[in-house]
Structure 1
């Protein structure tokens, strides 16, 4: 487990102070995948580098499994860092070394014997699916393969935690998915705690048990990933979630519609029930489906559904009230463009 308490990082320039991290307190539990999301300049990379003291915090406390990292001597800190692996957006591979040598290099720094270095490096390359690339050089690899080498290298010293600094930002969508699957495999098979920073909420949705949203050096919202998607509280969180769950209804469609347009949000087990079908059967209304989608976050369903209801006003109102007992309902006006998500309107 890693605990961060009232962490601040301030940079002093000639003219002014720049606050990189502003009084952050959070805990990452052992064995979880924790995402930190924010736009460029939010302070997430600085926070990540403060966790392993690559950046020394101006104030605050960083504790790894009960050890106060800021209280350690330089030698003790170097030893403690062996418990924290790190991968980067830019891979940081030595171009003059083979794939095998890149992975083994981390072990050489820990004074592991040559034969054991080779054995361990080959074992890790097999774990990340690159056994056949051991004698190739980074220039011969794709971006996804380079990141797999970086992951293998970060695992060389059997770390307790893996820090991922925009690890998928330089990769195409298909390669990103393969790297996320690999990280989930490592988390599951090795019990490794993973802290992942990103500006892509899709990455958080795919892999993270919990997440935090950062803005201007502060954490503005934190919680379980499903809860954040289902019930976001902060305006920035809502904007991030819209990048994943967004749907647009054309203004012309809304203006042409004669009935009542209803946006419904389904969470948890209710997403699998026949709510809309029951509504149309039990009330004297007609339904025109305008949008429907179900996403799965941490294996739990989160659905959004937009339907135009027509019929007598009393029947429509009763139908809406009956549905509102089971799901979150919003009646949408006809005179505006819609940019809603499953999170609802801001």
Structure 2
């Protein structure tokens, strides 16, 4: 659906050139939810705006649904943009217009006749759960409701792609979950390809099929979200994962350890099996669970536990061998 080939964006300033995006190549498949993660200044928002040419790349190719957008003339590009919806952190609603009018604006700009506009707006407000707010003004809405209006507006012209630029950053955790659930619903029911820019790994964990991590305008790591969480390759990716899966033990506890400290990772169905319980029954060792949890990455379980094994050395070795045979990853710390 979206192919970026060596996309670069360079800004000319008085002090010299500033590289916003540095030769990024990505392929985003039709119907998937794709996350782009990075700290402030990583270039992720600039890259997103290159997809719909709000930022014109200095070089490279931007192909959306088989069309190279950089080859289009202005009028052709305006038409092509109608198939690419976009929502922002700041909502950008017109305060003097009602919810209905804010959503209808996108249809009016696209030349949709008045009777069809009304039908489409009501349909969209039903989809985003705001049918009862059609006559309200933005000042009468909560942050989550404002974002739902902006989502409805972005969907007005039946886009094939929805770009989300930090769409949940201004929202509280509960509202963020409801907006992510809505985006999930839109993706599943309408088949729209969604690209999400975020600095929150919790968002990626919840909704993204695949993701890329950016730093200094470059993609430093990319892959399926589950693989990124279970086996990050780059230090920056690990930093982001730790915001969701942090298993640092206090030094005072580490100083009191007398047995063998083991970190276990259970992937998929194994995360829900009683592997540790079985091991403790089979061998003459005690297991003290010091830290652990099961996270669900796009509804697939990933379990990580840190435990202390106490017992005779030979029994500990047998227990470790058993765990290594059953568990995806066993690390003696």
- Give the TM-score, by structure 1 length: 0.95
CA deviation profile, 1:253-291 (whole Å, cap 9, x unmatched)? 111122111111111222122211121111111111212
Which runs of structure 2 are paired with 1:1-346 in the superposition (5 Å)? Answer: 1-327=1-327, 328-332=329-333
**Aligned counterparts of 2:2 and 2:316: Cα–Cα separation in 1:** 52
**SS across alignment from 1:325:** helix
The CA deviation at 1:107 is 0.5
CA deviation profile, 1:138-160 (whole Å, cap 9, x unmatched)? 00000000000000000000000
How large is the Cα RMSD of the aligned pairs? 0.8
**Aligned counterparts of 2:299 and 2:180: Cα–Cα separation in 1:** 15
**SS across alignment from 1:20:** strand
**SS across alignment from 1:85:** strand
> Are the equivalent residues in 1 in contact too, given 2:91–2:150 (CA < 8 A)?
yes
Q: How many residues align?
A: 332
The CA deviation at 1:134 is 0.3
CA deviation profile, 1:95-143 (whole Å, cap 9, x unmatched)? 0000000000001111111121111111101100000000010000000
**Aligned counterparts of 1:65 and 1:308: Cα–Cα separation in 2:** 53
The CA deviation at 1:222 is 0.6
The CA deviation at 1:248 is 3.0
CA deviation profile, 1:137-185 (whole Å, cap 9, x unmatched)? 0000000000000000000000000000000000000000000000000
CA deviation profile, 1:198-236 (whole Å, cap 9, x unmatched)? 000000000001100000000011111101111110110
> Are the equivalent residues in 1 in contact too, given 2:214–2:221 (CA < 8 A)?
yes
**SS across alignment from 2:179:** helix
Name the stretch that deviates more: 274-283 or 137-146: 274-283
**SS across alignment from 2:331:** strand
The CA deviation at 1:316 is 0.9
**Runs of 4+ with deviation above 3 angstroms:** none
**Aligned counterparts of 1:30 and 1:245: Cα–Cα separation in 2:** 30
The CA deviation at 1:317 is 1.8
The CA deviation at 1:325 is 2.0
CA deviation profile, 1:293-317 (whole Å, cap 9, x unmatched)? 1011122110011111111112112
**Aligned counterparts of 2:286 and 2:66: Cα–Cα separation in 1:** 61
